[in-house]
Structure 1
Amino acid sequence: MRARREKRAAAGEAMAETGIGRSGGTVLLVDDEPMVLAMMEDFLTINGLGVLIAKEGSEALRLARER
């Protein structure tokens, strides 16, 4: 748990240095692993991005077309 928080903090610092996450954009996140989706969603939202989640390719294509 601690290592995960430290990695998340380091990644957040790196994003802050590059300006990533300041635009308030939206990311389409696609993965079939619930743990990966949850971790990435947390990371992206903490850094100011909106997140659309898809668990498979067809769902991702549908979401992309709707946007």
Structure 2
Amino acid sequence: MEALDLSMIGAGIIILGAGWGLGKIGSSAMEGIARQPEAAGKIQTAMIIIAALLEGVAFAALFAA
């Protein structure tokens, strides 16, 4: 059996954090849209950009490990 690979544990933590972050972004965006429906377009655009960047970090961690 091989030694414990700490890079895999680190990648797993990053991916779990990215999942939590995506959920937080989505819930905050829905709350913002509920409070100010007229700003839904701007909130949704910002949410999609941030989610894409966060997903890129998760994929980078997955493939770097």
Q: TM-score, normalised by structure 2?
A: 0.35
Give 1 or 2: higher strand fraction.
Answer: 1
Larger radius of gyration: 2
Q: TM-score, normalised by structure 1?
A: 0.34
- Structure showing greater relative contact order (alpha-carbon pairs closer than 8 Å, 6 or more residues apart): 2
